[in-house]
């Protein structure tokens, strides 16, 4: 059924009014329009790419209820709270509700009271549930985390197989499938299993430009994690560890050092997991430490760092977990601490898989993760390549490899030192022992085995153990060595390694340069004001019983601390602030901003200077071009001068001059929308007296009732009505 005729307001206007966004992100508008047209959809959109808006916006415009199938019950309440904060009618149906509450939800569903109803896939397998759905007015079904239906995906869930009956049980109801991670094979499997009919298929870019990817050798893991946490005071972060024991150890380590941190893993009882996650979502703790194997229901938008203390098993898992950082679009750090020993910790889990195809897939996925960690190539390029997307730039500027740079050096002699130690010790020892031989360590094992008598003992004493351990990793990555054996892997020389060992080939080592310290982490917003707004947000969120980010995201607060909005119109122009949020929550924030601006005028001036430094002003007489076109586009949505100025991060006087020139060009804008008719009439008389060439006498003649902004606009209007600058200038001189 085509629901587009039901819409009395364009999707773009509703996007601005309800959700507070002036423009769609990539692929969003195409998906929204296809949903409104009643089409099936398959969309791959990265975490933080705005996929929830793709079904929330049309759900707010169409008759009936959008069913949202989500695998994570722990997320549903937050998703419902977020939708309700935008003024939508949203509910949930899952096992957390009592029988009475479930009955009430079903009754409201039958009446069509919901725009959105979130439910778990298990609910679809309940006897008689599809019969209830057939009696309800449904607009469409949105399947979130659709990769869970594919056995080729990284997070297959048998409960999702019930979704294969949707087309048969709900004929005529469009189905939209969304996922953040899907290779081409997984995509084809999802479309087939859900029975999507001629769906719109769209794959948004997997690139997350705001994320900084970094890999470091894991040495003192808890100290390394602590250093990142300390560098992000009062900012939320997630730490992933491989085992439950590691989760507990890392959480305890951080707690002892004064960090508010809590563990999260499957070994904790359900109530404890729920409390810990809720505390994190509500900013009551700074860090949650979790297992990578246990899916966390984190929908928190202001996570500023994600740390992997161990190597993830797959690129899909790594991408999804790092994707929980910076969902608000603000900068965030993704740090992977890696040791080659991770391979031998993870390999047994893969080898135990009963299906040969699954084992091969798991081994391939693990190898791709090892390559990401070991090879000094752009991290972003490697991630995107895995998802069949090529990165077009030579330097991404947002990963350790691209920022620090890579040097290639002839390391043939060093490689021969290592391989000589391996060869002379019988190729029967692991990397740690070989490092001890080359470095010349004085250990009981070295002495007992007589390896202190080898010719290669101590030949690398001028370099530290850390250098040699990383160097061996590089040799393994480039195929000069292999590490085999169970349970204790031993280093062995490959055919390629023998070519180097015996002088028939050279070995070139690719090493990252040390950090130069040239990157600036100075925030672009007023930090003192941000602290005040963040405190108020938390107080109001506690009173409302919702996570703080449901009120306003960090990105919205940052923009407030940049632009100092002091009126509702200006607040509406802030990213993510729609009409309902402005009315419900806006006034206390405007009061804090106004008081802070009055007490700290120098802070306002400082932020204004920053904006002017980074935003070149348009040419005064410009009558066309992208900057004028952008002002026109925003003006046509009904925004006033101040709101456009906030959106474009320009001065209101600049926007007013744009409006004046657009009026002069006959662009169809309504002058009365910007200037009160009585003020316009009074200014018109002053222009008759003084002419159009100078605005100062006009503003002075208004005696404070209007200023230069209105004068710019009225002059543009008069010019559009046939007034002549030359003639009026002469008339002014005659007077």
User: E strands along 250-404, which residues?
Assistant: 261-264, 287-291, 303-308, 332-338
Domain boundaries in the chain? 4-203, 211-404, 407-512, 522-614, 617-735
Distance CA 81, CA 355 (A): 42
CA dist 195 → 171, 201, 203, 515 (Å)? 11, 13, 19, 51
Handedness of CA 342, 348, 349, 351 (dihedral sign): positive
Given a cut of 50, whether residue 623 has pLDDT beyond it is no
Distance CA 613, CA 548 (A): 32
What is the arithmetic mean of pLDDT over 401-408? 83
Given a cut of 60, whether residue 615 has pLDDT beyond it is no
Given a cut of 50, whether residue 518 has pLDDT beyond it is no
Q: Are 250 and 239 in contact (CB under 8 A)?
A: yes
Given a cut of 80, whether residue 292 has pLDDT beyond it is no
Given a cut of 90, whether residue 305 has pLDDT beyond it is yes
Structure tokens at 542: 């506690």
Lowest mean pLDDT among 259-273, 288-302, 564-578, 715-729: 715-729
Tokens 């040699």 -> residue: 468
- Domain 407-512 in CATH 2.40.50.100? The answer is no
Given a cut of 70, whether residue 617 has pLDDT beyond it is no
From the CB of residue 357, how many other CB atoms can be counted at a distance below 10 Å? 10
Given a cut of 80, whether residue 157 has pLDDT beyond it is no
Domains 407-512 and 617-735 belong to one CATH topology: yes
State which fold the 4-203 domain adopts: Rossmann fold (3.40.50)
What pLDDT is recorded for position 523?
Answer: 62
Q: Are 62 and 50 in contact (CB under 8 A)?
A: no
Given a cut of 50, whether residue 263 has pLDDT beyond it is yes
The partner residues of 67 in beta bridges, in order of sequence, read: 117, 141
Higher pLDDT, 96 or 733: 96
What pLDDT is recorded for position 478?
Answer: 85
Lowest mean pLDDT among 91-105, 116-130, 352-366, 413-427: 352-366
State which fold the 211-404 domain adopts: Rossmann fold (3.40.50)
Q: Are 710 and 675 in contact (CB under 8 A)?
A: yes
Whether this prediction's pTM lies above 0.85 is answered by: no
Q: What is the pLDDT of residues 307-360, one digit of tens each?
A: 999 999 888 889 989 989 998 888 999 999 988 888 878 888 888 888 787 788
Q: Are 71 and 148 in contact (CB under 8 A)?
A: yes
Q: Are 323 and 48 in contact (CB under 8 A)?
A: yes
Given a cut of 90, whether residue 174 has pLDDT beyond it is yes
Given a cut of 50, whether residue 2 has pLDDT beyond it is no
CA dist 397 → 318, 390, 469, 546 (Å)? 20, 16, 28, 36
What pLDDT is recorded for position 89?
Answer: 93
What's the gap between Cα 567 and its chain centre?
29
Higher pLDDT, 30 or 7: 30
What pLDDT is recorded for position 611?
Answer: 54
What's the gap between Cα 42 and its chain centre?
21
- What stretch of H or E contains 139? strand 138-143
What are the backbone dihedrals phi and psi of residue 152, each rounded to the nearest 5 degrees, phi first? -85, -10
Establish whether the linkage from the previous residue to 345 is cis, with ω within 30° of 0. Answer: no
CATH number for region 617-735: 1.10.10
What is the arithmetic mean of pLDDT over 271-279? 88
Given a cut of 60, whether residue 610 has pLDDT beyond it is no
Distance CA 273, CA 279 (A): 10
- Domain 522-614 in CATH 1.20.1250.20? The answer is no
CA dist 254 → 6, 101, 103, 284, 333 (Å)? 54, 40, 44, 15, 18
- Give the torsion through C-alpha atoms of 83, 85, 91, 95, to 10 deg: 100
What pLDDT is recorded for position 551?
Answer: 92
What pLDDT is recorded for position 227?
Answer: 93
What are the backbone dihedrals phi and psi of residue 306, each rounded to the nearest 5 degrees, phi first? -125, 125
Q: For residue 335, which of 388, 373, 302 has the smallest C-alpha distance? A: 373
Structure tokens at 72: 């994570």
Handedness of CA 422, 427, 431, 434 (dihedral sign): negative
Average pLDDT, the chain: 84
How would you write 510-578 as a 3-class SS string? EEECCCCCCCCCCCCCCHHHHHHHHHHHHHHHHHHCCCHHHHCCHHHHHHHHHHCCCCHHHHHCCCCCC
Distance CA 418, CA 467 (A): 12
Lowest mean pLDDT among 53-57, 478-482, 616-620: 616-620
Reduced to 3 states (helix: H, G, I; strand: E, B; else coil), residue 583 is helix
């Amino acid at each position: 059924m085509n629901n587009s005729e039901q819409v009395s307001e364009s999707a773009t206007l509703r996007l601005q009014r309800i959700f507070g966004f002036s423009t769609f992100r990539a692929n969003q508008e195409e998906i929204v329009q296809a949903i409104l047209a009643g089409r099936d959809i398959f969309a791959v959109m990265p975490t933080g790419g705005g996929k929830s808006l793709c079904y929330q916006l049309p759900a707010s415009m169409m008759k009936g209820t959008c069913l949202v199938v989500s695998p994570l019950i722990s997320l549903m309440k937050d998703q419902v709270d977020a939708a309700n904060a935008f003024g939508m009618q949203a509910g949930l149906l899952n096992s957390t509700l009592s029988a009475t509450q479930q009955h009430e939800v079903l009754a409201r569903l039958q009446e069509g009271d919901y725009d959105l109803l979130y439910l778990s896939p298990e609910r679809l397998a309940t006897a008689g549930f599809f019969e209830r759905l057939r009696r309800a007015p449904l607009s469409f079904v949105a399947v979130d985390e659709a990769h869970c239906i594919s056995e080729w995906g990284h997070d297959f869930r048998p409960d999702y197989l019930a979704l294969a009956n949707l087309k048969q049980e709900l004929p005529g109801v469009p189905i939209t499938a969304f996922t953040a991670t899907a290779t081409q094979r997984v995509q084809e499997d999802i479309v087939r299993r859900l029975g999507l009919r001629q769906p719109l298929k769209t794959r948004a870019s997997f690139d997350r430009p705001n994320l900084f990817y970094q890999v470091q050798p894991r040495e003192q893991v808890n100290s390394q994690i602590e250093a990142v946490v300390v560098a992000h005071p009062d900012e939320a972060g997630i730490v992933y560890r491989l085992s439950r024991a590691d989760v507990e150890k890392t959480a305890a380590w951080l707690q002892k050092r004064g960090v508010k941190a809590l563990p999260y893993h499957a070994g904790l009882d359900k109530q404890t997991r729920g409390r810990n996650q809720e505390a994190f979502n509500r900013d009551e703790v700074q860090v949650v430490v979790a297992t990578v194997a246990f899916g966390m229901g984190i929908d928190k938008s202001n996570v500023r760092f994600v740390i992997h203390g161990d190597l993830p098993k797959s690129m899909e898992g790594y991408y999804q977990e790092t994707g929980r950082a910076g969902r608000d679009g603000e900068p965030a750090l993704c740090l992977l601490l890696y040791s080659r020993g991770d391979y031998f910790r993870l390999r047994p889990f893969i080898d135990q898989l009963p299906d040969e195809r699954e084992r091969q897939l798991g081994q391939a996925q693990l190898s791709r993760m090892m390559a990401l960690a070991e090879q000094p190539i752009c991290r972003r390029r490697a991630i995107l390549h895995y998802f069949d997307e090529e990165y077009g730039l030579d330097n991404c500027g947002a990963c350790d490899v691209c920022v620090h740079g890579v040097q290639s050096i002839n390391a043939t002699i060093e490689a021969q030192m290592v391989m000589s130690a391996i060869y002379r010790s019988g190729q029967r020892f692991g990397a740690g022992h070989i490092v001890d031989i080359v470095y010349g360590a004085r250990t009981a094992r070295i002495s007992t085995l007589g390896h202190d008598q080898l010719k290669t003992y101590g030949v690398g004493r001028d370099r530290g153990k850390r250098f040699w351990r990383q160097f061996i990793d590089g040799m393994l990555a480039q195929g000069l060595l292999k590490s085999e054996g169970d349970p204790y892997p031993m280093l062995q020389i490959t055919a390629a390694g023998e070519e180097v060992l015996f002088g028939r080939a050279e070995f070139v080592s690719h090493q990252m340069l040390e950090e130069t310290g040239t990157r600036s982490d100075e925030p672009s917003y007023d930090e003192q004001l941000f602290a005040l707004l963040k405190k108020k947000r938390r107080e109001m969120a506690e009173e409302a019983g919702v996570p703080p980010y449901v009120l306003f995201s960090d990105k919205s607060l940052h923009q407030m601390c940049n632009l100092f909005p002091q009126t509702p119109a200006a607040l509406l122009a802030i990213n993510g602030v729609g009409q309902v949020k402005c009315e419900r929550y806006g006034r206390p924030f405007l009061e804090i901003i106004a008081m802070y601006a009055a007490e700290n005028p120098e802070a306002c001036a400082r932020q204004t200077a920053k904006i002017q430094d980074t935003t070149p002003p348009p040419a005064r007489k410009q009558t066309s071009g992208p900057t004028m076109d952008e002002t026109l586009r925003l003006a046509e949505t009904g925004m006033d001068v101040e709101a456009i100025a906030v959106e474009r991060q320009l001065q209101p006087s600049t926007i007013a001059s744009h409006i004046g020139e657009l009026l002069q060009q006959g662009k169809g804008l309504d002058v009365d929308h910007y200037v009160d008719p009585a003020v316009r009439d009074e200014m018109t008389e002053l222009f008759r007296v003084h002419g159009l060439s100078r605005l100062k006498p006009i503003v002075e003649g208004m005696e404070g009732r209007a200023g230069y902004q209105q004068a710019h606009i009225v002059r543009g209007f008069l010019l559009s009505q046939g007034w002549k600058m030359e003639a009026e200038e002469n008339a002014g001189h005659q007077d």
